[in-house]
Amino acid sequence: MRLLMREGKCPEAGRENIMRYEWMDTYLLQKRGVTKDLQETWNWIRYHVGGKMFAAICLGADGKPYYINLKLEPAEGEFFRTQYEDIIPGYYSDKLHWNSIKPDGEVPDELLKGMLDKSYRLVLSGFSKKKQREILGLSCCGTECAACGYYGTMCQGCNELQGRVFHAPEGKPCPIYACAVRKKRMVNCAECDILPCSIWQETKDPQLSENAFQKSIENRINNLRSDKKHGI
Ligand code: SF4
Ligand code: SF4
């Protein structure tokens, strides 16, 4: 793919532009629902969640990065800018919410990871909770509906059916959906301190053996918790 320089826009021509955060692309792409593209006119690699940008790497004419852009709550962005001279108001962006980080500066890796996580969460949380589940590709109990053999034929997924799936009690939503989504207004059970609760233990597919059921609980918790690990 051809990389183009946005004419005359590189703010610090002549800077060496060494990327010390080589892990960044892999780190961002392992988050659920993330896509990336190259905005050729600007020469920015953009990372989106649900179609909205939450991070970007601004490239110079030589294809090397000169800024990393990410979004933070205004007060937090302001605080970090006072702590590190390598964090400045967002280059070519809304300077209240966006921040630019020099890719060859002194910002520690773990801090940048934390800021990227926050940016991802901030943009994701701008969507409705239903839409967030859709973007994450997980039902509220951590099931990947699209990977289920019934999905699209016998079942349209608990998100679309508001929990009234074929295995739910007649006329009622599935008890996990009823609790997490309707009662507690959560995106999913990962937000709950008592996961996996008694409702989980009681919501069993009768076709599963006890072992298979416990394995399914483990897998669903892993899905939910690995999302947490990746900054959700
Ligand atoms: S157990 Fe409930 S919450 Fe989980 S996928 Fe089925 S209907 Fe949805
Ligand atoms: S109590 Fe917590 S873990 Fe159990 S279904 Fe409700 S939200 Fe999910």
**Which numeric CATH code is attached to 24-124?**
3.90.1150.30
Asked if pLDDT for residue 64 goes beyond 80, the answer is yes
Find the range with the poorest average confidence among 23-37, 38-52, 164-178: 164-178
Least Cα distance to 27 among 226, 220, 230 occurs for 230
Q: Which atom of ligand 2 is nearest to the CA of 183?
A: 6
Q: Which atom of ligand 1 is nearest to the CA of 163?
A: 7
Q: pLDDT tier at 49 (50, 70, 90 boundaries)?
A: very high
Q: Which ligand is located closest to the Cα atom of residue 217? A: 1
Q: Which ligand is located closest to the Cα atom of residue 159? A: 1
What mean pLDDT comes out for the span 158-173?
Answer: 87
The predicted structure's pLDDT at residue 2: 35
| Span from the CA of 141 to the centroid of ligand 1 (angstroms) | 6
Q: Which ligand is located closest to the Cα atom of residue 223? A: 1
Residue 96 — φ and ψ, nearest 5°? -75, -45
Sole residue written with tokens 């010390």 = 20
Please write the tens of the pLDDT for every residue from 111-163: 999 999 999 999 999 999 999 999 999 999 999 888 887 888 888 888 888 99
CA distance 122 to 120: 5
| Span from the CA of 34 to the centroid of ligand 2 (angstroms) | 27
Cβ of residue 181 lying under 6 Å from some atom of ligand 1: no
Question: Token digits for 18?
Answer: 């060494």
What mean pLDDT comes out for the span 182-200?
Answer: 95
The predicted structure's pLDDT at residue 208: 87
Least Cα distance to 32 among 123, 108, 150, 112 occurs for 123
- Burial profile 131-170: b = 16 or more Cβ within 10 angstroms, e = fewer: ebbbbbbbbbbbbebeeeeeeeeebebbbeeebbbeebee
Domain boundaries, the chain: 24-124, 140-229
Closest residue CA from atom 4 of ligand 2: 197
Average pLDDT across the chain, whole number = 88
CA distance 87 to 89: 7
Q: Residues with Cβ within 6 A of ligand 2? A: 176, 179-180, 184, 186, 189, 192, 194-195, 197, 199-200
| Span from the CA of 216 to the centroid of ligand 2 (angstroms) | 16
Asked if pLDDT for residue 5 goes beyond 50, the answer is no
List the alpha helices (DSSP H) in the chain.
24-29, 74-83, 109-124, 129-136, 175-177, 198-202, 210-229
Question: Token digits for 45?
Answer: 């690699």
Q: What percent of the chain has pLDDT over 90?
A: 69
Residue 113 — φ and ψ, nearest 5°? -60, -45
Q: Are 200 and 140 spatial neighbours (Cβ–Cβ below 8 Å)?
A: no
Ligand 1 pocket test, candidate residues 148, 172, 176, 184, most atoms within 8 A of CB: 176
Residues facing residue 55 across a β-bridge? 47, 70
Please write the tens of the pLDDT for every residue from 101-110: 999 999 999 9
